Structure 1
Amino acid sequence: MTGITDLAELLRSLEPVRRPDPYVLVSLPPVLAGPELRDLAEAAIREDEGVSLVLRRLDADDRGIAYDFVAAWVTLTVHSSLEAVGMAAAVSAALAQVGIPCNLLAGYHHDHLLVPIERADDAIEALRRLADA
């Protein structure tokens, strides 16, 4: 199934859903980000500086992994096309208007946002307002 490309339809269909656990974003040298840790990761990105992993906070705490940012994970359940234009910009702008930073992760079927955990409810409210506009 291909995703939706029409921006107006995408925004009407955002349907943000929050995952229940707190998440953290960490960066580790590749030698420390071995297979066991990568299997725990909800997302992984290789960068020149190291491997960035999104982990459940509990998993990071259990392994003594330091982090600076505790996030709520919000999934935009609309199936956006990989060729859709403007959705990430519209979502980022809606959150920026209410002072909420977000880190966007694009999956094949959905886009996912990491927002400060203490602003999760505000972020979902802002996204619902965007969908209703």
Structure 2
Amino acid sequence: MSPERDLGRLLTGMRPEPNPGRYVFTTVTGAPPPGLAPVATVAEDEGLTLVVREEEADAAGLVYDYVAGWITLRVHSALDAVGLTAAVATALAEAGISCNVVAGHHHDHLFVPYERVDESITLLRELAARAG
């Protein structure tokens, strides 16, 4: 299946799906400690940002201050598609929900406050229904 670029089809087909677990953003300098399986990494001047399961961060003694739930948008979005991130972030922002977006090759991944995952899923499904 080829990636989708049409915003209407992206929104109606996003099928938000929660991933189990609690995830945190933390930073290390140098290589990550052994035993971590990051779901995302970002190299910055200040260090390597890791998104890892909370229990992995705790076991490694890593510091963090944001606990997130991970939602995957199951639509196969093209990396050059325009508007999906803005539409999703706007819908969540209007409800006062922070959203950190990570684009993978096939899907977009949202990290929202852990305690607001269910509410976020509901809002995203409503957005998809309005787009259809």
- CA distance, structure 1, for counterparts of residue 62 and residue 79 of structure 2: 33
Give the alignment of 1:15-94 within 5 angstroms.
Answer: 15-29=15-29, 31-33=30-32, 36=34, 40-94=37-91
The alpha-carbon deviation at position 2 of structure 1 amounts to 2.5
- CA distance, structure 1, for counterparts of residue 24 and residue 51 of structure 2: 6
Moved over 6 A (4+): none
What is the SS of the residue equivalent to 1:104? strand
Report how many aligned residue pairs link the two structures: 130
TM-score by length of 2: 0.94
| 2:120 paired with 1:123 | yes
What are the ranges of 5 or more consecutive residues in structure 2 without an aligned counterpart? none
- CA distance, structure 1, for counterparts of residue 66 and residue 72 of structure 2: 18
The alpha-carbon deviation at position 18 of structure 1 amounts to 0.5
Aligned residue type for 1:12: T
The alpha-carbon deviation at position 41 of structure 1 amounts to 0.8
- CA distance, structure 1, for counterparts of residue 112 and residue 105 of structure 2: 20
User: For each residue in 1:32-67, what CA deviation from the matched residue of structure 2 results, as whole angstroms up to 9, or x when unmatched?
Assistant: 525x35x51111110011100000001111111111
The alpha-carbon deviation at position 28 of structure 1 amounts to 1.4
TM-score by length of 1: 0.93
Query: Which residue does 2:10 correspond to in 1?
Result: 10
- CA distance, structure 2, for counterparts of residue 15 and residue 28 of structure 1: 33
User: For each residue in 1:97-125, what CA deviation from the matched residue of structure 2 results, as whole angstroms up to 9, or x when unmatched?
Assistant: 11100000000000000000011111111
Root-mean-square deviation over aligned CA pairs: 1.2
- CA distance, structure 2, for counterparts of residue 2 and residue 52 of structure 1: 31
- CA distance, structure 1, for counterparts of residue 44 and residue 2 of structure 2: 29
Give the alignment of 1:75-114 within 5 angstroms.
Answer: 75-114=72-111
User: For each residue in 1:2-30, what CA deviation from the matched residue of structure 2 results, as whole angstroms up to 9, or x when unmatched?
Assistant: 3000000000001001111100011111x
- CA distance, structure 1, for counterparts of residue 91 and residue 43 of structure 2: 29
